[in-house]
Amino acid sequence: MISDTHLHSAFSCDSNTPPRENAESAESQNIKTIAFTEHYDCYLGGRPTDDFDGDAYFEDILALKDEFAGRVGILTGIEIGMQPPAVILEQSAKRIEGLTLDHVVGSMHYVSGLDIYDGSYFNGKDKRESYTVLLRETLECLKKYTFVDTLGHIDYSSRYAPYEDRQLRYREFPDEFDELFRFIIENGLSLEFNTKTAGRVPPDPDVWTRYKELGGELVTFASDAHKPWLVGYEFEKHTAFLKNLGYKFAFRYENRKPVAEEL
Ligand SMILES: [Zn+2]
Ligand SMILES: [Zn+2]
């Protein structure tokens, strides 16, 4: 099975999974490679945090890579929580400076400084307003976070928004999507297909059709697992979804370069 390019272990603040358990789960499912993209979010909950322990991470993950050589490929990575303020951008850039990472995912967990996960971002906003601002701020961040390879879970809001209809649809925000996709494509970034979100709210086929129409080719697959049994979550179902739309490849990142894998 294709690689799982984004998952978490106990090196992330919100997971207690020993990394080895993720690797064992991947091996049992015949998954080609997995990338440990641990969280790095500055100012979580409004206070400065730097809870990504780089030294321990590399020691453990590189040892695991040796241990699983020839069984499951183990890749290093980080998931940077992107926010526009310069101080957060600078801290994030500094955090990964000098690190030998395979994959850097940039994700929006906060918009306008407010948390999507706990829902505070959505307070007092209807879907049109909150999703429009989210898509615009995502583009603003991608323009600033030039060290990111992949935009993580574009549809993260679909998981946690309080609206009856939470699906992020192309036809409701065509201008915002087009601008964002054009930037991603022109700058050689990739778009992540996040199966954790897709398991809760179905992905909009129009989003993926439009990305392809504009020339988008680079797609990564992510379970975003925080538990070992969620590694590779519903990959078969969703690779079929993309194949039906005409996609032929998914990509993993090694040493910051995309590597094609047949869907
Ligand atoms: Zn995330
Ligand atoms: Zn994640």
Ligand nearest to the CA of 44: 1
**Token duo for residue 263:** 């869907």
Superfamily of domain 77-262: Metal-dependent hydrolases (3.20.20.140)
Confidence of residue 42 (pLDDT cuts 50, 70, 90): confident
pLDDT tens per residue, range 66-79: 999 999 999 999 99
Cα of 223 vs centre of ligand 1, distance in Å, is 11
Q: What is the mean pLDDT of residues 136-142?
A: 98
Cα of 79 vs centre of ligand 2, distance in Å, is 6
Average pLDDT, the chain: 96
DSSP tag of 198: H
Cα of 42 vs centre of ligand 2, distance in Å, is 15
DSSP tag of 248: -
Q: What is the C-alpha separation between 7 and 24, in angstroms, rounded?
A: 14
Cα of 176 vs centre of ligand 2, distance in Å, is 23
Closest C-alpha among 77, 25, 236 to residue 250: 236
pLDDT tens per residue, range 201-213: 999 999 999 999 9
Cα of 5 vs centre of ligand 2, distance in Å, is 10
Domain ranges of the chain: 77-262
Q: Is the pLDDT of residue 6 over 70?
A: yes
Closest C-alpha among 240, 234, 178 to residue 206: 178
Q: What is the C-alpha separation between 155 and 108, in angstroms, rounded?
A: 10
Q: What is the helix (H) or strand (E) element at residue 105, kind and residue range?
A: strand 103-107
Q: What is the C-alpha separation between 260 and 55, in angstroms, rounded?
A: 30
